Structure 1
Amino acid sequence: MHRYRFLLSRQWVILTLVAIALIPTMVKLGFWQQHRYEQRTARNDLVSAALHAKPVPVERLTAPGHAVTRTEKYRTVTATGAFDTAQQVVVRRRTNADGEVGFHVLTPFVLDDGKVLLVNRGWVPANGAQTAFPEVPAPPSGRTTVTGRLMADETTAASGIKNVTGLPDRQIMLIDSAREARRLGARVLGGYIQQTAPEPPGGSPEQISDPGSEDAPLNYAYMIQWWLFAAGVPVGWWFLVRREIREQEEAAAAERRSEPSEPGEPATV
C-alpha cells in the first residue's frame, strides 16, 4: 500500500475532500433542476389547458373578493356590459412585445348586473416621461361583449414591482381588484381580464400576447448534466490517482536505471 502513501499528503487530502464535497452538491443541484423541470412542465400544461378551454361567462369563475386560482388563471371568459372610461387608469412601466416601455390601459367594465370587471385593454406608448396621462383610444361605446384571459390580482411578491405611492393622477403600479373596489365604490370581481376581443380598431391599445411556455426541457438537460458531473468526479479523481502512481513508478524506474548495478561500475546511461 506504500504506492498510495501520497494520498496522505496535504495536497491530496484537500483534493479528495473537495471531490467528496462536490458529489452530494452536484446530486442536490440535479434534483433541484428536476424539481424546476416538473414545476415548469406542470405550469405549461396548466396554461395550455386554460388557453384551449371553452370560453365561459366571467362570473362563473370569479366574484367580488375572489382570489383567482392557478387553475382559473388564463381561462378565456366573456362578459357583457359597458366600459366606464371616466374611471379609467393606466398601469405604469409595462412593456410591449418589442420591449418598449409604456402603460397598460385598465378600464372598468360595468356588467349588466351592476358588478364591475377590470379589463386590461392592452399597451399604449408613454410618449416620453411617464408623468402625464397618455393618449388612450376609446373602447366601444354602449353595451358590448368582451372576451379575455382571466388573471389573478398582481402583488409585489409575485411581480417584483413595488407598489409606490405619490404617482401622477390616474396612474397605478399594480392591478389590485380590492383596491380598485375601494376607489370605485363598487362590487369589483376578483382579478381582471386581458382583453382579446373585440380587437381595437387601428391596433391600439396593443393587445397583450398569449403567455409563452417556460423552457422546461432546458431544466431537464441541466438535471442530467449535474448528475453526469457527479458521476464524473470519482472517475476523474481515480484518473488523477492512477496518473500520480504511473509518474512515481516511471520516476523510480528512471532512478534505478541511473544507479550503478555493481559497486565501482559506471552508472547505466
Structure 2
Amino acid sequence: MSRATNSTLRTVMTVATFVLGFALLCSLGLWQLSRAAEKQARYAAFVARLEAPAVNVDDLDTADPAASHAWQRVRLRGHYRDLHVLLDNRVQAGRVGYDVLSPFVTEGGRTVLIDRGWIPLEGSRETVPDLVAPADPFTLSGFIGEPPVVGVELNAAAATAEWLAPRIVRVQRVEPAGIGELFGLETWPAVVYLDADAPGALAVDWPVPGDGSARHRAYAVQWFAMAAVLATIGIALAYRKRSTQT
C-alpha cells in the first residue's frame, strides 16, 4: 500500500471518528432535552391534579391508584380504625421521629392508609407513643401518593414489624398490602397524605418535589459543549493539515 493511500486512509478514519463522536454527543444532548420535556410534562400533570377539585376515593376504580392518580386531591367520608403504624427513622427539623399512618374505613367500605404526619421520638425507642384517632365519622381531605420511604435501612431485619402495643406497630417500610395483613384488613394500594387542617392530622409538612428538568438541561448543555469542543478540534486539525500541504 502506497504512502499516499495510507495517508488518505488515516484521514478518512480521523474524519469518521470526529463525525461519529460529534453525532453521538449531539444525540446525548438531544436525549437529555427530551428527558427534561418529559419531566416537565409529568410535573405539569401532577400540579394540575393537585390543584383540581377533590374527588371521592370511593369513586376511583383503578388497580394502581398511586401511579394513575398520583397527587390527585381526594376526600374520604368515614372513620379511623384505632390502629397505628409508625414508620421509623423519619427526620423533621433535625429531630428523629415517626410518620404515623392509620387505616381509615370509608363509607364505601374501602380501608385506606392515611399518613397523618410526623411525631418526634420521645424518650427511648421502647417508649410507646400516646396515639389517639378521632372515633366519630367525618370527612378527610388530602392527596394520593406512593407509600413513604426512608433513605436508609438501619438493620438487616428492616422489614420486620415490631409490635409496641396491641394496636401500634413500628416498621421500616410501608407496603399497604403488608400493613393490611398485620391488622387483618384488606387495604387500598395507595396512601393518602392528610391535609394539615384535617381531623387527626399531626405535624404535616409534605414536600412537593420540583420537576427535575433543570438537571437534564444542564446535562444537555454539557453534551453540546463537548460536541462544540470536538468540532473545534476537528476543524483546527483539518486547517493545520491543509496548511502543511500547501
TM over 0.5, yes or no? Answer: yes
- Which residue of 2 is the match for residue 146 of structure 1? 140
- Which residue of 2 is the match for residue 90 of structure 1? 86
- Which residue of 1 is the match for residue 234 of structure 2? 237
Q: What is the SS of the residue equivalent to 2:34?
A: helix
Task: Tell me: CA distance 1:31–1:106, structure 2 relative to 1, closer, same or farther (3 Å).
Answer: same
- Which residue of 2 is the match for residue 36 of structure 1? 35
Q: 1:46: Cα distance to partner?
A: 1.5
**Max Rg structure:** 1
Root mean square deviation, CA, Å? 3.9
- Which residue of 2 is the match for residue 207 of structure 1? 204
Q: In the aligned structure 2, how far is the partner of 1:245 from the partner of 1:235?
A: 15
- Which residue of 2 is the match for residue 220 of structure 1? 217
Q: What is the SS of the residue equivalent to 1:191?
A: strand
Q: In the aligned structure 1, how far is the partner of 2:182 from the partner of 2:88?
A: 18
Q: 1:59: Cα distance to partner?
A: 1.0
Whether 1:116 aligns to 2:115 is no
Q: What is the SS of the residue equivalent to 1:189?
A: strand
- Which residue of 1 is the match for residue 101 of structure 2? 106
Q: In the aligned structure 2, how far is the partner of 1:139 from the partner of 1:15?
A: 73
Alignment of 1:15-54 (within 5 A): 19=18, 22-54=21-53
Task: Tell me: CA distance 1:181–1:42, structure 2 relative to 1, closer, same or farther (3 Å).
Answer: same
Q: In the aligned structure 2, how far is the partner of 1:94 from the partner of 1:39?
A: 31
- 5+ residue gaps, structure 2: 164-168
Output one character per residue of 1:39-93: Cα deviation in whole Å (capped at 9) or x when no partner.
2112211111110111111111257xx32153411111111222223x2111122
Output one character per residue of 1:238-264: Cα deviation in whole Å (capped at 9) or x when no partner.
224545776x79xxxxxxxxxxxxxxx
- Which segment drifts farther, 227-236 or 113-122? 227-236
Larger strand proportion of the pair:
2
4+ long deviations beyond 4 Å: 12-21, 153-156, 159-163, 243-246
Structure 2 contact 76–140 (Cα < 8 Å) conserved: yes
Residue in structure 1 matching 2:78, options 76, 81, 96: 81
Identity, in percent, stands at 21
Q: In the aligned structure 2, how far is the partner of 1:138 from the partner of 1:14?
A: 75
TM-score, normalised relative to structure 1: 0.69
- Which residue of 2 is the match for residue 190 of structure 1? 189
Q: In the aligned structure 1, how far is the partner of 2:232 from the partner of 2:36?
A: 27
Q: 1:188: Cα distance to partner?
A: 2.2
The letter for the 1-side match of 2:99 is: H
Q: In the aligned structure 2, how far is the partner of 1:28 from the partner of 1:133?
A: 57
TM-score, normalised relative to structure 2: 0.75
Q: In the aligned structure 1, how far is the partner of 2:128 from the partner of 2:28?
A: 47
Output one character per residue of 1:142-186: Cα deviation in whole Å (capped at 9) or x when no partner.
222211111245689xx8979833343211233222222222223
